[in-house]
Every structure is written in C-alpha cells, then in structure tokens.
Amino acid sequence: MTINVVVNGAAGRMGREVVKAIGQADDMSIVGACDQVSIGEDAGSLAGIGPLGIKIQSELAEVLVQTGAQVVVDFTEPASVLQNVHTAIRTGVRVVVGTTGLTQVDLEEIDNAAYAEDVGVLVAPNFAIGAVLMMHFAEEAARWFPHVEIIELHHEAKKDAPSGTAMKTAEMIGRSWENRGAAPIESTIEEWESLPGARGGKLEGIHIHSVRLPGFVAHQEVIFGLPGQTLTLRHDSTNRESFMPGVLMGIRRIGDIRGLVYGLDKLLF
C-alpha cells in the first residue's frame, strides 16, 4: 500500500532531499508540499527530479486536509516545528520530525497530545544510520570511560547549537553512567576561561563544543580519555543524502507508533 506523504519545508536543502528520496521510493508518494518560500513552484522541479505536479503551498493545515495525507515529514525551523507538529496531530496525521530545537517540555507536550489523538510522532535528532550507531557505541563506551567531551561541526547556516545529536549523545552517555551508579569524574584542577565559553557548554557533566563553518554538513566526534589512551568515535555526513534511508525508515514505521518516539535508535535496536 502506498503511503501518502506531505513534505513540510520542501524548498529547503533537507526538504528537497526528502522530496527526491520519496519520489524514488516505490511504496510512498508525495501528495503535498509546504514552505514559506518558493510558493507556487513545483516541488519536484526544485528537488531536481522533474515536475511532480505538486505545487508548494504555505498553509500546512490546509494541505494536510486537502490531500488526505497519512504522514508529514517536517524539516523546517526550530521556531515553527512545535506548532507544525500540533497542527498535524490535530488533523490525525502522523509526523516524522528532523527539525531540531525541541525542548524536553516540548517533547512531553507532543507525547501527551499524540497519545490523546492516537497519532504517532517520531522525532530524530539525526537520521543518518551511522550517526545513530555512533551514539549507541558512545553509550557502550561510557561504561568504561568516565572522561568524555563532544565536538560537533555543522554548516554555517545551522541556527541551533549545540546540535540535537550532540545533546542526545550526552544524554545517552549520562544514562549509561546512571545505570551503573557512576558519574563523570570532575576535574580537580581549578579552571578558568579567559575567553568565556572557551570550554563549550555542559550537559550531563559533559563539555560540548559547536563549530559552524562553510564546507561542513553534519559531523561529530565523541572523545573519551583515560590515562595513557583516548578513544575517538566520529561520524561524518558529507551529503544530505546520508539522512534519507533513516527518513524513509521513519515514514514506513511511523504507523506502528503511538505517542512520541524520540530517536531513530528506537527503531534500530
């Protein structure tokens, strides 16, 4: 059975990749496209796969109702993603979210709303299979390493910092320590920053450093240290195509979800 999908943020870089990936999939079809730019243009032409007869519109709620969509994929902006998800839930449409910037309070609100409407929502900080495996391996390595820092590197247009992937990685490492009754070992050396922020932000006792430069897409290093050795886990997405297998997996599996699932790892392991 073909899955009818609306792409929200279809004119953006990730949105165009999603349009292309769905257009090439045999078991799904694009029935609508939304964005606040390129309104009236053909979503397929923007994605480089030729006209699809799907014009980009600006009002998500109208598109969801008019098209009878089963799933909406959201790659928009941190400022609008929460409203977009609630719009989809109210219309009974399942949601696959790749937009980052949602807070823990936002996620709890989404979970409650989705359960109330019997709708599934998947929020994934990263859809690259390799990145999900990196986070999983980091959680395992944390059993043996109480010292770790995270460096994430993204393109200059990414608005939020740190990335959702870095924050989820820190949360997973913290969970690993908590399950063992352990904790990060705090340095006994008195530190100071002659330049505020030089040591990055801190989550779960872990320093996170964000880099924003042209030439990057999405990259992360998790560096563990013990006396006399280091262990580095690194993942690189050099093209947005790397995220598409995970997005398609999310679309295919979202029908089995009720409420919120946070992280693609929940579908892999």
- What is the set of active-site residues? 154, 158
**CA neighbor of 216 nearest in space, from 141, 150, 147, 163:** 163
Q: Are 32 and 57 in contact (CB under 8 A)?
A: yes
Number of residues that make up the chain = 269
Local structure of 123: helix, strand or coil: strand
Q: Which two tokens stand for residue 252?
A: 């295919």
**CA neighbor of 211 nearest in space, from 167, 156, 165:** 156
Local structure of 42: helix, strand or coil: strand
Q: Which two tokens stand for residue 34?
A: 């939304």
> CA 12, CA 35: separation in Å to the nearest integer?
8
Local structure of 66: helix, strand or coil: helix
Q: Are 130 and 268 in contact (CB under 8 A)?
A: no
Task: Measure CA 174 to chain center.
Answer: 19
> CA 121, CA 97: separation in Å to the nearest integer?
8
Q: Are 259 and 120 in contact (CB under 8 A)?
A: yes
